[in-house]
């Protein structure tokens, strides 16, 4: 092979190197083009899967909220609220008095109490009759009354 290259004149050597360079560039272009195409396809598939997942999660949450809003079992409601806000609240107490459901809990501050009250009222999907907020030295105490 070495004697073959040595027997060629410089013009022929340059033509062979140029052809080899063009082949290498074409192969690299093909590999890069295929990789980019696969990446775009994968990205579209990922977006579709994310959309499908978010749709299923939203429907599952809607079904769960519907079941909880119709449930009269205090243990189910308490477990739902504990799962909804595991670290934000303490001393969660749920009591049923007549046709009313009373939810009381403690939080670190009043702002947190208000946002958690809104979220609980929205997720439970029940008519909210009364809200009371009070503050002691360390905590904010919130009491929600639902029909």
Do residue 77 and residue 132 come from a single domain?
Answer: yes
Query: How long is the chain?
Result: 147
Do residue 62 and residue 49 come from a single domain?
Answer: yes
The predicted pLDDT at position 1 comes to 67
pTM check: above 0.75? no
DSSP 103: E
DSSP 86: T
Residue 42: which domain range?
2-68
The predicted pLDDT at position 47 comes to 96
The angle formed by the CA atoms of residues 85, 123 and 87, to the nearest 5 degrees, is 5
Q: Give the model confidence (pLDDT) of 35-89 as tens digits.
A: 999 999 999 999 999 999 999 999 988 887 777 766 667 777 777 777 777 677 7
Do residue 60 and residue 85 come from a single domain?
Answer: no
Query: CATH no. for residue 91?
Result: 3.30.1360
Q: What is the mean pLDDT of the chain?
A: 86
- Structure tokens, 18: 């140029």
């Amino acid at each position: 092979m070495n004697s073959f290259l040595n027997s060629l004149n410089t013009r022929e050597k340059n033509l062979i190197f140029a052809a080899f360079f063009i082949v290498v560039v074409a192969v690299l272009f093909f590999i890069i083009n295929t990789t980019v195409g696969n990446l775009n396809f994968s990205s579209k598939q990922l977006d579709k899967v994310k959309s499908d997942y978010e749709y299923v999660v939203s429907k599952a949450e809607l079904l769960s909220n519907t079941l909880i809003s119709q449930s009269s079992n205090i243990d189910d409601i308490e477990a739902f609220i504990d799962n909804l806000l595991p670290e934000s609240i303490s001393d969660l107490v749920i009591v049923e008095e007549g046709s009313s459901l009373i939810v009381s809990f403690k939080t670190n501050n009043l702002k947190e109490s208000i946002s958690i009250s809104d979220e609980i009222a929205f997720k439970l999907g029940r008519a909210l009759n009364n809200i009371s907020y009070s503050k002691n030295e360390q905590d904010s105490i919130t009491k929600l009354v639902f029909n």
